Amino acid sequence: MASKYSDQANSRFGEIIITTLEGVPGKEIIEHFGLVQGSTIRAKHVGRDIMAGLKNLVGGELKGYTELLQEARKEAVERMLQQANFVGANAVVNVRFATSSVAQGAAELFAYGTAVKVQ
Amino acid sequence: MDLIFLVILLGVGYFVGSYLEKKHYQDIKKRERQTLHVPVVTFGAKQAIPHGNEAALFLGSVVVSADYFKMFASSLRNLVGGRVVVYESVLDRGRREAILRMKEQAISWGATQVVNVRLETSTVGSQSGGKGLAAIEVTAYGTGIR
Amino acid sequence: MVYKPKEIPEGVNVTSVHPLVNFAYLLGTVVVFSGLVYLGLGAIATQLATRISPELEAKIGRELISDIPHLDRESNSPKQQYLEELLTSLQKSNVNSYTPLTIYVQKSKISNAAILPGGHIIITTTLLEEAESENELAFVIAHELGHHIARDHLKGLGRSLVLLTVASVLGVGGGNANIVGITGSLTNLHYSRQQESTADLYALSAIVDYYGHGDASLDFFNRIQTKNKDKRGEFSAYFSTHPLTQKRINYLHQFAKKKGWKMKGEIKSLPNNIFD
């Protein structure tokens, strides 16, 4: 089954199934390998800050930031999948995301889950 | 004069910081190997509950921050934008340390596995007046089963 | 479901770039970018200095003048009236100022004169006290007029001119004192030797037009020149903002000779009521 998750679109590990469930429906977990995690920290640049400041006047979506965080989250997922690939898993279940601001203007995007082998 | 002071601070931050980081990583790797036999998983309640007599909550936490060199590099990165490479190792270390602390507690209690693990990251306050890396707390918690 | 313990290799969540390489890249980018901004602002400032409209200049000038301390401009004081008359008569012979001019007296212990955007001429009380004849005072004022007409005062503001213009256009007042603070105090505008020389020539021709001769007009320069020779290292304020050399004075004399201007004539004394 090919994965549908958008962040996996151009991933090297497109075959790995990602779910937020405790398992993969219709499949049985035969092995598990413990926790896998992926994280990345991104800073926005001054130009984007200024544009976002202007946009703040009128409100609405901050496109620049949305894209930045999407791209970063994609990388976090990719890194998690890389770890899953290392241990020989074909699915990561019960995936959770966390975003936290670690420094002024910088945010950490973090994804973690359990690497499993399903049949 | 200020510049010399800055360079000294950067130098001290860089050399001491990377030495401590190296030591910490060695320590983490050693402990990870020791505790590898106990599984830590993020699923729990909806899976068939594993066989055991007792369950208890375990929590490991650590507050991390960066050295002067990393703060300076990240403040530059703030102008340029992009991946803040210098902080990655800080958070990686913090997270693994938190998981290890949780795991070690569980193991000393006699756990055979830790299930339904959740990880949290939160900013608990910042050094040097809002600039640079804030102090970050990483928490890992889950249910130990024996 | 069985547990298969497996070690995850390093370097997944930590990018393998040497911190110093990364640092060098960051520093380089920031330095190069700031350099570009600096150059860009400089280029824009030069363009602005020659193209700024009189209305906008007046607006900037109003904001700047409100930041200058110890200004005295009682319109009915004899001192003020005298200075305004002198300014008007100097202009008569050279009616080419593009904005109305105003003159201010600043209470200060240093001897200096300056021109701000918007045609605001500032003369310090000490300069007035030191002046021995109307001719030399007129020369100082005419020299500042020369800067005004050549728009040197705008060029002298340099990069802060861009910020001032933007602030004025957006109507953000108040913060201008800070903007000027970036490039130093207002009366510390620096002019190039070329700009000084042009202003000198302008001043001398205005003086000759008005009085019919250039006598005593260079007294002020001569006095400062000797003063600076006496006290080495302790330069007068006028000297620091208007770099003055014997060469400049000599050049003025030569120029006058070439033009056939009289450098001797009746010296007009200053009225007593300006030293109140």
What residues make up the domain containing C40?
Answer: 18-51
Q: For residue C12, is it within any domain? A: no
Q: For residue C8, is it within any domain? A: no
A29 touches chain C (CB under 8 A): yes
Cβ-based neighbours of C107, under 8 Å, separated by 6 or more: C70, C72, C124, C125
- How do residues C92-128 score in pLDDT, each as one tens digit? 655 566 677 788 887 777 777 778 777 788 888 877 8
Q: Quick one: C32 and C132 in the same domain?
A: no
Kindly state the average pLDDT of the residues B27-48.
Answer: 83
Kindly state the average pLDDT of the residues C210-217.
Answer: 77
Q: Quick one: C192 and C91 in the same domain?
A: yes
B122 touches chain A (CB under 8 A): yes
Q: For residue C45, is it within any domain? A: yes
A77 touches chain C (CB under 8 A): no
Q: Which residues of chain B make contact with C32, given a CB cutoff of 8 A? A: none
For C219-229, b/e burial (b = at least 16 CB within 10 A) is: bbbebbbebbe
> Has this prediction a pTM greater than 0.80?
no
The residue among C34, C51, C68 that closes a domain is C51
Q: Which residues of chain B make contact with C7, given a CB cutoff of 8 A? A: 32-33, 36
Nearest-angstrom CA–CA distance, A86 and A35 = 12
- How do residues C263-276 score in pLDDT, each as one tens digit? 777 777 777 666 55
What residues make up the domain containing B54?
Answer: 2-145
Confirm if B63 and B120 have CB atoms less than 8 A apart. no
Q: Which residues of chain A make contact with C2, given a CB cutoff of 8 A? A: 30-32
Residue A105 pLDDT > 80: no
CATH class of domain segment(s) A6-118: alpha beta
Chains that touch A (3 or more CB pairs under 8 A): B, C
**Percent of chain B predicted with pLDDT > 70:** 87
Q: Which residues of chain A make contact with B74, given a CB cutoff of 8 A? A: 43, 103, 106
Q: Domain total for chain C?
A: 2
Residue C228 pLDDT > 70: no
Q: Quick one: C94 and C46 in the same domain?
A: no
In this prediction, residue C130 carries a pLDDT of: 78
Nearest-angstrom CA–CA distance, B38 and B58 = 14
Residue B56 pLDDT > 50: yes
Kindly state the average pLDDT of the residues C131-154.
Answer: 81
**Percent of chain B predicted with pLDDT > 90:** 28
Give the alpha-carbon dihedral of C109, C115, C120, C126, to 10 degrees: 20
Chains that touch C (3 or more CB pairs under 8 A): A, B
Picking from B80, B83, B86, the nearest residue to C19 by CB comes out as B86
Kindly state the average pLDDT of the residues A55-63.
Answer: 73
A117 touches chain B (CB under 8 A): no
Domain CATH for B90: 3.30.110.70
Q: Quick one: C227 and C103 in the same domain?
A: yes
Pick among B36, B43, B126 to test the A interface (most A CBs inside 10 A): B43
CB interface of C with B, residues 142-171, below 8 Å: none
- How do residues C14-28 score in pLDDT, each as one tens digit? 888 888 888 898 889
Q: Quick one: C183 and C65 in the same domain?
A: yes
Residue A2 pLDDT > 60: no
CB interface of C with B, residues 8-47, below 8 Å: 10, 13-15, 17, 19-20, 22-23, 26-27, 29-30, 33
Nearest-angstrom CA–CA distance, C43 and C40 = 5
Picking from C3, C12, C13, the nearest residue to A32 by CB comes out as C3
Residue B114 pLDDT > 50: yes
More confident residue, C257 or A57: C257
CB interface of B with C, residues 17-46, below 8 Å: 18, 25, 29, 32-33, 36-37, 39
In this prediction, residue C267 carries a pLDDT of: 77
Nearest-angstrom CA–CA distance, B73 and A43 = 11
What ipTM was reported for this prediction? 0.76
In this prediction, residue C182 carries a pLDDT of: 39
3-state SS record for chain A: CCCCCHHHCCCCCCCCEECCCCCCCCCCEEEEEEEEEEEEEEECCHHHHHHHHHHHHHCCCCHHHHHHHHHHHHHHHHHHHHHHHHHCCCEEEEEEEEEEEEECCEEEEEEEEEEEEEC
Does C1 sit within 8 Å of A34, measured CB to CB? no
Does A36 sit within 8 Å of C9, measured CB to CB? no
Q: Domain total for chain B?
A: 1
Q: Quick one: C25 and C112 in the same domain?
A: no
Identify the closest residue of chain C to B72 by CA–CA distance.
Answer: C23
Give the mean pLDDT of chain C. 74
Q: For residue C13, is it within any domain? A: no
A41 touches chain B (CB under 8 A): yes
- How do residues B19-37 score in pLDDT, each as one tens digit? 999 999 999 999 999 998 8
Q: Which residues of chain C make contact with B83, given a CB cutoff of 8 A? A: 15
Q: Quick one: C157 and C47 in the same domain?
A: no
Does B79 sit within 8 Å of C5, measured CB to CB? no
Q: For residue C154, is it within any domain? A: yes
Nearest-angstrom CA–CA distance, B86 and B63 = 17
In this prediction, residue C250 carries a pLDDT of: 81
Residue A38 pLDDT > 90: yes
Picking from C1, C8, C9, the nearest residue to A31 by CB comes out as C1
Q: Quick one: C43 and C96 in the same domain?
A: no
Cβ-based neighbours of C61, under 8 Å, separated by 6 or more: C116, C117, C118, C119, C120
Band (C216; pLDDT cuts 50, 70, 90): confident
In this prediction, residue A55 carries a pLDDT of: 72
More confident residue, C69 or B91: B91
Nearest-angstrom CA–CA distance, C276 and A68 = 68
Q: Quick one: C185 and C199 in the same domain?
A: yes
Residue C183 pLDDT > 50: no
B42 touches chain A (CB under 8 A): yes
Range with the lowest mean pLDDT among A93-97, B75-79, C45-49, C136-140?
C45-49
Does C8 sit within 8 Å of A31, measured CB to CB? no
